[in-house]
Chains A and B, each alone.
Chain A
Amino acid sequence: MEMRLAKLWRELLLATLILVPAWSQSGGRAIVVQRSEPRGFQPVYSVDEPSRAVIGLLHAPLLRIHSETQETEAVLAASWKVSPDGRTITVNLRENLRFSDGAPLTVADVLFTFAVHQDAAVASPLREVLQVGGKPLVVTAAGPRRAQFQMAEPYAAGERLLAGVAILPRHRMEAAYQQGQFRSLWGLGAKPSELAGAGPFRLKLVEPGRRMVLERNLHYWKRDKAGKPLPYLDEMEFLFTAGEDAQVARLLAGEGDLAASFGGGSYRAIESHRERRGIRLLDAGPSLDYTFLLFNLNPGGKRPWFAQTAFRQAVSAAMDRESIARLVYRGRASPIRGPVTPARLKWYAGPAAPAAEPRRLLSAAGYRWNGEGRLLDPTGAPVSFTLLVNAANPAYTQTGAIVEEDLKKIGIAVQVVPMEFRSLVDRVVNRKDYDAALMALRPGDVDPAADVNAWVSAGRTRLWNLSGQALHPWEASVDEKMRALMATRDQARRRRLFHEVQRILEQEAPMVCLVSPNLLLASRAGLENVRPGTIGDLVLWNADEWYWRRQ
C-alpha cells in the first residue's frame, strides 16, 4: 500500500514536472557501466581509477581544474588569492557549506584534511605531493571561513596542489584517525550511513561486485544559473562488469546509460548497433594519454645504438603512426610525435618538425646495410633488439607487431616479447634488464608540474634512465628548463620553456611517442550535458549537471 502511494506520489510529481518547464531537468537515474569496481570509499588512500570515480562524486575539494577549460576553478572555495611572492595562498570558503549528513563544513575540516595527508603515520599518497622544496605546506586558519597555505619557496603550480584534495569530514573521521585505524576506515564494506562528504551525491547502496547506487546530496552547495539546486539527477548508479566487451554488451543490452574509456574496436561494435539501440557515440579526440616505445638508456645498457640520437630519430622516423591509429585503434587514436598531446590545450607545442628519412639518418651516422638488407652498425654488427609489450592488452601486442614490421623495413630485427604487466614493469623499473618496451602513460594534469617526475633526472619515474643522473647534455637541459619552469609564475615564460622541453624530447626521442588514444564515450540518447573532459574523471567530472531530456 505504502509502495503504491509512493508510486502515485512520484507519478503526480512527474506530471507537475512536465507542466513546469523550468523543473523539467530534475530527477531520474543515470546508470554508468564501469569495468572495475571501487576498492573502497577511503578518499585518502584510493589511487585506482574506479574508486576515484565514485569518491569524486561523494567528496569535493577546495579548488579543482576544470576538465574542459583546464583552468583552476573554485569549488568549496568562494575565492582564492596567491600572494605576490607566490608563497602564500589564501582560500575563502563558501557560506553555509554542509556535508551530506548535514554537519557544517568549516575551516576546521580543511585543517584536519591537510593534517591527515601530512601525517607520516597515515602514509597518504599525497604526502610528498603536498611538499614544496622538500618542506610540507603550512596550513593555518585565518578566520572562520578562511585558510592559508604557505609554501617554503615559490611554486608555479601552487594552487593546483589544492585541486583534487577532497575535504574530509572531521567529525566522522577523527576518532578512527586518533586510534590509528584510519586505513581500515570506509572500506568496501562500510555502511552508507557512516560516510559523509561534500560532493554532489552520497552513497545509498552497495552490492559488492555488482552495483552501487548514489543518491543526491541534499546539502550540496551548488545551484544552476536559475538558482535550482544541483545535481539534477536523483540517483547515479554504477554497474560493475569485467572487461570491455561485457561493458559494451551491457550498454547495448539497455542495462546501462553510459560507458566510456573503451577502445576503438568497441566503438566500432557500438556503431554497428547504433540505430537500433538509441545510443549516442562520441569521439572526444586525443586524450592526455600517450603510448610510446621506450629505449633503455640506463647506464650500462646493453645496446650501444640506443645512446645515439640519430639511431633513435631513425626509429622514430620509421614508425608508421597512421597505421597504428588506423589498424590497432580502428581510427580512434591520434598520431603523436611527443609526449604532450594536443589535448593539453595551451601547453601543446604544436606538431613536430617533419622527420628526416630514416635511412638517410642512419647512413649519416655510419650505419650500412648488408646484401640481405639487414642494418649493420658502424662496427659491422647487425642491429637487433627485443621489445617488451604488455601481453594482456591486444592493442599493445598489435602495436608491437606494427613496430616490428616497420623496423624490419629499415633492416632492424625486432623481437616482440609479450609479458605480463608486473613482470614487465619489474624488468623496466627494478632490474633495468630490457632493450626497449612499449608503454603508456597518463599525466594527471595538463600543467607541466605533472610531467616533472617523468622527465627530469631527480624524478623517480623517468623511465628511460632511472639512474637519477643526467647522462647526456639534453637530459641536463631538460632538467634545467623544467626547474626554471617550476619556479616562475610567469605563465608565458613557463609555456615557452615547456615548448622547448617538448622539442628536446621530440628531437632526442628517448621515448618514441606513437599515438594518443581518443577518449570515446557512448551514452543513451536523452542523457544531456555529458561532456567528456581531459582532467580528473574524464566523464563524471560534471555529473552534477547531467539531466534527462524528457520527451
Chain B
Amino acid sequence: MTFLLRRLGGALVQLVAVSALAFALMELAPGDYLEDMRVNPQIPAATVARWRAEFGLDQPAIVRYGRWVRSVASGEFGVSMAYGIPVSELIAGRLGRTVALSLLALGLTWLLALPCGVWCAAYRGGWLDRLLGGGATVALALPELLVGLLVLQGALWAGWGPVSGRIGPAVAVLAAVSFPSVFRHTRSSVGQSLRLPFVDHLRAAGLSETRILFRHVLPASLNPLVSLLSLSLAGITSASLVVEVTLSWPGMGQLLLEAILARDVAVVLAAVMVAATLLQVANLIGDGLLYLADPRIRRRPA
C-alpha cells in the first residue's frame, strides 16, 4: 500500500516535471501560435495584437504556465488556441482511439515478434532467420511515414479497397514498423540465454527444442525484454502519430501534429502528459512483470 502511494506520489512529481520541461521546451522554439497570421495581409496587425493579449501570449512564461496548471486542476487541461475550446473536450474521443490503436499494435507486435525472435535465436541462420532479418532491415530503412504511404499506394494499385480511416491497416503498419526492434532484441536476448548451461543440460535430458525454447529459455530471458516492453510502447505511441496521419485514423495524430507545428501549447502539453502517463503505467506493469518473471528479484535470500 505504502509502496503504491509512494509510487503514485513519484508519478505525480514526474508529471509536473514533464509538463514544466515541455513548457520550457516550447518556449525555446522560435515563433508562437499567431505567427501564421502575422504574414496574412487579410488579418490586420491590430487583430493579431488583440488576440495575443486575449490568449495571454503577452504574459511572461511563468504566468502562462501557472494559468495552465490551474486549468489542469479544473479538469480542462487548458484551452486550445486553434479550436477555442478546452483541450479535455477536444481530445475526449480521439484519445481513446489513439490508445486503442497503440495497444492493439503493441499486442500484435509482441504476439508476432516474440515467437519469431525466439525461433530465430534458436535456428540462427535458418531460412526464417534470414527472411525476417532481411525484412526487418528493409523495414528499418523505411520510416513509418513511408510505410504508411506505400500501403496507401499498394492498396490503390491492388484494388484492395479503402485503407484510410480503418483500424486494421493502421495497426498492421504500426506493428510492421515496431516489429524489427522487438524481434531483434528478443533474438539477441534469447540467443544469450541459449548459451546458459541449463539449456544443454535439458537437451541431454531429452526435452524437445521447442519445449526448451518456450518453457525454459524464454522465461529466463524475460528481464531485458520487460524493459523493452515499455520502450516499445513509447515507440509505438510516437509512431502512431505519423501513421494516424498517413492513414487518416481519427485519433490524436492529426490534432497533435498540427498543434506541434502551430505551437498550440495546451494541446501539445496534454499529449505529452498522456504519453508520460502511459509510460508510467507501462513501467509499473513492466516492474510487476519483472517481479513475477524473475524469482531472483522476487525472492531475495535474506
Contacts and interface: CB of A to CB of B under 8 A. Distances in A.
Interface of A: 36-37, 39-40, 42, 45, 47-48, 120, 123-125, 127-129, 183-184, 187-189, 207-210, 239-243, 245-246, 249-250, 252-255, 273, 392, 420-423, 425-431, 439, 441, 443-444, 450-454, 459-461, 463
Contacts of A129: 42, 44
Contacts of B50: 120, 123, 127
20 contacts: A39-B83, A47-B37, A129-B44, A183-B84, A208-B93, A242-B254, A246-B246, A250-B162, A253-B161, A273-B156, A425-B35, A426-B35, A427-B30, A428-B39, A429-B38, A430-B31, A444-B41, A451-B41, A461-B45, A463-B39
Task: Identify the 7 closest CB pairs spanning chains A and B, nearest first.
Answer: A209-B250, A422-B31, A460-B45, A128-B44, A187-B85, A426-B31, A454-B41
Nearest to B79: A184
Contacts of A187: 83-85, 89
B287 interface: no
Chain B CB within 10 Å, residue with most, of A422, A439, A459: A422
Nearest to A425: B35
Contacts of B31: 422-423, 425-426, 430
B147 to A, nearest CB: 13
A250 B248 contact: yes
Contacts of B162: 250, 253-255
A463 B40 CA distance: 10
A209 B39 contact: no
Contacts of B94: 208-209
Contacts of B38: 425, 429-430, 461
B273 interface: no
Interface string B256-296: 01100111000000000000000000000000000000000
A253 B44 CA distance: 42
B78 interface: no
Residue from B36, B38, B162 whose CB has the most chain A CB atoms within 10 Å: B38
A249 B164 contact: yes
B248 A426 contact: no
Contact of B29 (A255, A273, A423): A423
A253 B244 CA distance: 18
Nearest to B145: A243
B155 A253 contact: yes
B246 A429 contact: no
A128 B41 contact: no
Contact of A249 (B40, B45, B152, B253): B152
Given A242-B245, A253-B164, A460-B45, A439 B83 contact: no
Nearest to B247: A246
Nearest to A127: B47
A427 B30 CA distance: 8
B90 interface: yes
B82 interface: yes
Contacts of B97: 209
Contacts of A461: 38-41, 45
Contacts of B89: 187, 189
Centre residue among B41, B82, B152, B247 by max chain A CB count within 10 A: B41
A452 B44 CA distance: 11
A289 B49 CA distance: 26
